[in-house]
Chain A
Amino acid sequence: MTRERAMVPEAEFRSYYGRPVIKAPIWHEPHMPTYLYLGGLSGVSSSMAVMARLTGHPRLARTARVAAAAGAALGAGLLAAELGRPARFLNMLRVFKPTSPMSVGSWILAAQGGLSAIAVAGDLASDLPKTGGRAGRLPGAGGSAGRLPVAAGLAGFLSGAGGLAGRLPGAGGLVGLLPVAGDAALLATGVTGPLTATYTAVLIADTAVPAWHEAYRELPFLFAGSAMAAAGAACMLGTPPAHAGPARAVAALGAAMETVAGQVLERRLGFIGEPYRTGRAGRLMRAARVLTVGGGLLAVVAGRGRTLTALSGLALTAGSLYTRFGILEAGRASAADPKYTVVPQRRRLDAQSSPDRGSDAGAAQPAS
Chain B
Amino acid sequence: MAERMGFFTDTSICIGCKACEVACKEWNQLPDDGFVFEATSYDNTGTLGASTWRHVAFIEQSRPVAAGGDDGVDRWLMSSDVCKHCTHAACLDVCPTGALFRTEFDTVVVQSDVCNGCGYCVPACPYGVIDRREDDGRAWKCTMCYDRQLGGLEPACAKACPTDSIQFGPLDELRARAEERVTRLRADGNTEARLYGESPDDGVGGAGAFFLLLDEPEVYGLPPDPVVTTRDLPAMWRWAGAAALSAVGAVALAFLGTGERR
Contact = CB atoms under 8 A, between A and B. Distances in A.
A368 B88 contact: yes
Given A2-B75, A331-B123, A83 B223 contact: no
A290 to B, nearest CB: 22
A181 interface: no
Nearest to A196: B244
A217 B234 CA distance: 11
Interface in B127-152: 127-134, 136-139
Contacts of A91: 97, 99, 114-116
A97 B131 CA distance: 21
A207 B122 CA distance: 9
Contacts of B90: 207-208
A213 B62 contact: no
Interface string B214-228: 001011111111111
B177 to A, nearest CB: 24
Contact of A2 (B63, B133, B246): B63
A10 B28 CA distance: 36
A84 B118 contact: yes
State the majority secondary structure of interface residues on A: helix
Interface string A1-31: 1111101100001111101111111110000
A335 interface: yes
Given A85-B138, A106-B96, A249 B240 contact: no
A247 B258 CA distance: 9
Interface residues on A, range: 35 or more
B134 to A, nearest CB: 8
Interface residues on B, range: 35 or more
A99 interface: yes
Interface string A237-268: 00000110111011001100100000000000
Contact of B246 (A212, A224, A366): A224
Interface string A197-225: 11101110111110011001101110111
B98 interface: yes
A251 to B, nearest CB: 8
B69 interface: no
Contacts of A245: 258, 260-261
Contact of A227 (B47, B97, B247): B247
Given A19-B46, A228-B251, A206 B94 contact: yes
Given A8-B41, A197-B244, A94 B137 contact: no
A105 B132 CA distance: 21
A33 B57 CA distance: 35
Contacts of B123: 22-26, 207-209, 212, 331, 335
B252 interface: yes
Given A26-B123, A220-B244, A348-B225, 4 more contacts: A21-B222, A228-B250, A338-B218, A368-B93
Interface of A: 1-5, 7-8, 13-17, 19-27, 43-44, 47-48, 51-52, 54-55, 57, 59, 82-86, 88-89, 91-92, 94-95, 97, 99-103, 105-106, 147, 150, 190, 194-195, 197-199, 201-203, 205-209, 212-213, 216-217, 219-221, 223-225, 227-228, 232, 242-243, 245-247, 249-250, 253-254, 257, 331, 335, 338, 341-342, 345-346, 348-349, 362-368
27 contacts: A3-B62, A8-B40, A21-B127, A21-B221, A57-B262, A84-B134, A84-B139, A91-B97, A99-B93, A103-B95, A190-B248, A205-B236, A206-B236, A207-B94, A207-B124, A212-B123, A217-B239, A224-B247, A246-B254, A250-B251, A335-B123, A345-B224, A346-B225, A366-B88, A366-B204, A366-B228, A367-B232
Interface of B: 39-41, 43, 46-47, 57, 59-64, 71, 73, 75, 88, 90, 92-99, 114-120, 122-134, 136-139, 201-205, 216, 218-237, 239-248, 250-258, 260-262
- Identify the 9 closest CB pairs spanning chains A and B, nearest first: A84-B117, A84-B137, A16-B221, A220-B243, A88-B116, A249-B254, A194-B244, A103-B96, A366-B88
